[in-house]
Amino acid sequence: MFLCGISATLCGGKTKEGVFVGVLLSMSSTAVVLKFLMEKNSINALHGQVTVGILVLQDCAVGLLFALLPILSGASGLLHGVASMTKSLVLLISFLGILSILSRTCVPWFLKLMISLSSQTNELYQLAAVAFCLLFAWCSDKLGLSLELGSFAAGVMISTTDLAQHTLEQIEPIRNLFAALFLASIGMLINVHFLWNHVDILLAAVILVITIKTFIVSIVVKGFGYNNKTSLLVGMSLAQIGEFAFVLLSRASSIHLIEGKLYLLLLGTTALSLVTTPLLFKMIPAVVHLGVLLRWFSVDSNQVELGLKGEVLRIDSGKRINLIIQGPHDS
């Protein structure tokens, strides 16, 4: 937000629009990134854990960012804006506190009840799990927090129970369906005519966003003591603009914080950055391999140990072959 505000001021633009662009760019896609981390089995890796932690805090900050928009547009005074942000912060802490209590009391009982009622079929348990997540997503939205925060918190509540793995297996097919609907809804927002007329600006904007976000996030993660490999992987994972940017854009447009052309440009940039996320994740193995070759990354101890085990295995195999060959001659 600070960098975008300074850049807008130096380029002759409006500072408030620059700060809003910074708000937009600071968000990353929880739904898309988590999906690819799970597909790559990287959710428990060090860079996966750091990425998930940052995504959770971004979702928690959505309510505060909503309260910031009227201040930027001048629709409310500074005092009113600070009061609104304080209210959002109190709601967030209270909401998470209540969910923490429920996860220890009601949630295990509810899941065990559903699994006992659906002993013959799994459809009831699947519907109960989906309804459970949608309920908390709806509650968080009504409180002025993000839908993502509520649904993510519901998943965390389920993960604290003994039925976490069973629930994940049951809802995995439904998860892919919701992911397809999510991507389809993004496509419906795109103005194809505008994209075609400004394809050069959009491509440049997407490349700039991915490059700068990767660099900034990598520098921040590196500043907390993580190695070069972890820092770069986290930066690449968070290089896109989050899906919640669409809601922020709609809100900013309704209070006349941004103009129509800037709205369409940011909308297209956000959508295209989400589309490029699968390509970035496919590039990660090549980037890691290049980093090892250039000695930017240190070789993992697991890989070294694996290599040593391979050498020992080859030596043992060679000895066994020699024994087998020498055996008949000795006899």
Q: Indicate the domain borders of the chain.
A: 1-276
pLDDT band at residue 218 under the 50/70/90 scheme = very high
Closest CA to 81 of 254, 96, 89: 89
Give the Cα separation of 316 and 88 in Å (integer). 65
Residue 191 is classified by DSSP as: -
Q: Say whether pLDDT at 304 is over 70.
A: no
Contact 215, 232 (CB under 8 A): no
pLDDT band at residue 142 under the 50/70/90 scheme = confident
- Please, what is the average pLDDT of the chain? 79
Higher pLDDT, 321 or 119: 119
Q: Say whether pLDDT at 326 is over 80.
A: no
Q: Is 295 left (phi over 0), alpha (psi -120 to 50) or beta?
A: left
Higher pLDDT, 76 or 40: 40
Q: What is the mean pLDDT of residues 70-92?
A: 73
Q: Say whether pLDDT at 173 is over 70.
A: yes
Closest CA to 25 of 51, 49, 47, 5: 5
Closest CA to 266 of 188, 205, 193: 205
Contact 242, 30 (CB under 8 A): yes
- For tokens 């193995």, name the residue: 285
pLDDT of residue 220: 93
Give the Cα separation of 190 and 202 in Å (integer). 12
- Give me the percent of the chain exceeding a pLDDT of 70: 86
pTM for this structure? 0.69
What is the three-state SS of 269-287?
A: HHHHHHHCHHHHHHHHHHH
pLDDT band at residue 223 under the 50/70/90 scheme = very high
Pick from 9-23, 52-66, 150-164, 203-217 the range whose average pLDDT is largest: 203-217
Q: Say whether pLDDT at 132 is over 90.
A: no
Higher pLDDT, 292 or 319: 292
